[in-house]
Structure 1
């Protein structure tokens, strides 16, 4: 493969893989640069699923639609959307509309063309319907399943070249006299050479490098210093939005950072700065959150933003740690556990959750709490916290020997909603709102789609939808130039 003929994709998470898949379908060569030693990014760790509405896998009587999904997403976006000036609000709404109206197609593409099992559907926080898809019993977690399917396919392609351990250090402009080459972009990257020299590639660029939730002493400290000391689900690596700002890209919502309410506290390493996410699907399938003596305190399926706020207000601090952590118990009954078995098996193996009985829990109020919740689930009384979906919870008559599964969780910095400004064609826009020639972006590096809160399941969806759009448009640009 000649490097001069390739499209350069930076980042090997789901957005980058989807963009690459589209390019390869047009028989356009791709060089993918990944700063980690292995591909997959944070996408490979995604645990709750991918949103889609309506799909053939959803419960037939729930009457979900793209319009309902749109309404939930607009509501979740909150203040950044509502307070935008007309032109900016229209741009954001076009992004959201593109996301939801192509969501069903995205799920079908993964299932029918890539062979991914997404037949199990759960309702996550902030959603009015069950629309978050993952594999059935015995299947891999959704992020791993989707990423590995795409990687396996791409690794068989002679037009695809993956270069790992390559950190992009700068975006540069090529010099040229023709209309086709003038202003063409390229990237300098550190390939780990002994002489410490960088290498440069020129060509159409697709940035899919993710967010900055692990950039504790960089962008996170700059935009959200109030989150200092809270652990993260992301490894410590710098955000790449500044690389695109240097060539004129506009950024938006950089202070909008999602703190996920449930990251596991490993009893063997209480102060670990990076936590495993306790998938929202655990609560979607019926799981509950407890504080203090074993009492519920929140609708566990409210938006992540609101559940996190309730935890920080109502839970006590986790003692004997140097980090800002809260002491919360996540509990599932046998019904919720069975429906979550793909996740639960891993969590049990890692020691992040354990199987026990109600009587063995050192929580004085636990039996009353569980019996009250059981009566809510069975329809005998309304929920004091407004919860209306209970997944697969089956425990009705709570006894001391009733089997439950528990884990300790705390809020964790998880996702950054801010990033470079794009349009519905995944083109990166400059400060005047004009597309930057030969530059696209998709996934968490972009901003403006989610506003102040991202709905669970919309991260993988965003990567598929806008990754594919970026690939299609970069393919057209490549063929033209």
Structure 2
């Protein structure tokens, strides 16, 4: 396969894989580039699931219509959406509407055409209904399951070429493409792999950027746009953001200061100073898990938005006293046996990693714990309303708390997790310049883009965004390739 005939997809996470799958369906060759040694990006680590409404997997009589999902997404987007006007407001609204109205089809496409089990549905923070889909007991975590299925399918395709350990250093302009006799195509300059000296290669063709966000770019874009987050650990490996590559060819960016701090990243007792943390999936709280301060007291509705839960942690919990050079808080995530059974796949992994442990209420010896758990059990049983306003309790089953009651617990802290800002796109996944005009031959999808989530992304909407806009990018890049 000649690279000159191919569409170039940069990034091998879910957005890039979905774009590629659509292109291959049109029998268009794809060269996929990724700077990492293995494909999958952050998508392969996603642990809570993918949103969709309404779907056949949702609980009967739940009455979750697309307009409820739309309202939750708008509410979560907050100030950036509410304060925008005219064309910018219309663009944001159209992105949100596209995401939500395409969600059921996205879940069906993964389940029916890619063979991914998405039969278990949970309610996550900021959602008014249970609409986040993942596999049943014993199944792989959703990110791994979805990415693996797509990669396995693509690996059988002679039209697909994957190059890992390959770093894009520059986007080549259409003018340069014209000068090189490439018909005014954009291109990418690719650095040679280790041991190849300063050799570079330039590939020309339609470009789909799916390179992710900059939550791990601690001393680059994160420091530039959110210096106040310095010292907070991250769920992302240290790597530079790629938005500047597209800005250099005229792309506009938006919401770059909107960075999501997830309330629960695991603090490993064996490595307190680790800057990169495993995420404690929001599904653990969705299935009934609660958050406790250092004395064993609840302090928040655990299913409020990530932004709200994080703020409550920082306001209510004590900082960890260990000298690690990091800003961390003393918080525990606790589950009873019912919530644990519903989260078995996650929990087995976390216990294997030593991040959660099985114990009893008495062994934990937290002064307020027994009263806290009995109060929560009474709320779940309907005896009393929750003072924090929580209304969904997943699969919590513990009703009468004693010192011998079995629980599962792990230490967690807020972590920099996701960047809502990025390059500006329209509902066709076309990258827009500063005047709002599409840059010909350039699409983007996933976390590299901005304007969809506003100030807070709902759990389960990152995988959804990748599927919806990745497929749209692939469809439009295919049409462009066929035309030119």
TM-score, normalised relative to structure 2: 0.98
Structure 1: state its 5+ residue gaps.
Answer: none
Matches within 5 A, 1:266-305: 266-305=268-307
Structure 1 position 129 matched with structure 2 position 152: no
* 2:267 equivalent in structure 1: 265
* 1:475 equivalent in structure 2: 478
Contact 1:224–1:255 at 8 Å: present in 2 too?
yes
Query: How far has the Cα of 1:177 moved from its partner?
Result: 5.9
* 1:79 equivalent in structure 2: 79
* 1:21 equivalent in structure 2: 21
* 1:313 equivalent in structure 2: 315
* 1:338 equivalent in structure 2: 341
Query: How far has the Cα of 1:173 moved from its partner?
Result: 2.2
* 2:468 equivalent in structure 1: 465
* 1:268-326 CA distance string (max 9 Å, x none): 00010000000000000000000031000000000000000000000000111220000
Contact 1:165–1:191 at 8 Å: present in 2 too?
no
Question: SS at 2:464's partner residue?
Answer: helix
Contact 2:177–2:204 at 8 Å: present in 1 too?
no
* 1:99 equivalent in structure 2: 99
Matches within 5 A, 1:118-267: 118-174=118-174, 175=176, 181-192=182-193, 193-267=195-269
Query: Among residues 398, 417, 421, which one is paired with 2:420 in the alignment?
Result: 417
* 1:123-174 CA distance string (max 9 Å, x none): 0000000000000000000000000000000000000000000010000025
Which consecutive aligned stretches of 4+ in structure 1 deviate over 3 angstroms post-superposition?
A: 174-178, 180-183
Query: How far has the Cα of 1:196 moved from its partner?
Result: 1.6
CA RMSD of aligned residues (A): 1.0
Whole-Å separation in 2 of the counterparts to 1:332 and 1:160: 44
Question: SS at 2:313's partner residue?
Answer: helix
Contact 1:176–1:183 at 8 Å: present in 2 too?
yes
Cα pair distance change 1:195/1:181, threshold 3 Å = closer
Query: How far has the Cα of 1:182 moved from its partner?
Result: 4.5
Contact 2:178–2:184 at 8 Å: present in 1 too?
no
Query: How far has the Cα of 1:453 moved from its partner?
Result: 0.1
TM-score, normalised relative to structure 1: 0.99
* 1:328 equivalent in structure 2: 331
Query: Among residues 366, 381, 388, which one is paired with 1:385 in the alignment?
Result: 388
Structure 1 position 371 matched with structure 2 position 374: yes
* 1:350 equivalent in structure 2: 353
* 1:421-457 CA distance string (max 9 Å, x none): 0000000000000000000000000000000000000
Contact 2:254–2:421 at 8 Å: present in 1 too?
yes
* 2:364 equivalent in structure 1: 361
Contact 1:261–1:304 at 8 Å: present in 2 too?
yes
Whole-Å separation in 2 of the counterparts to 1:176 and 1:476: 20
Aligned residues: 480
Query: How far has the Cα of 1:394 moved from its partner?
Result: 0.1
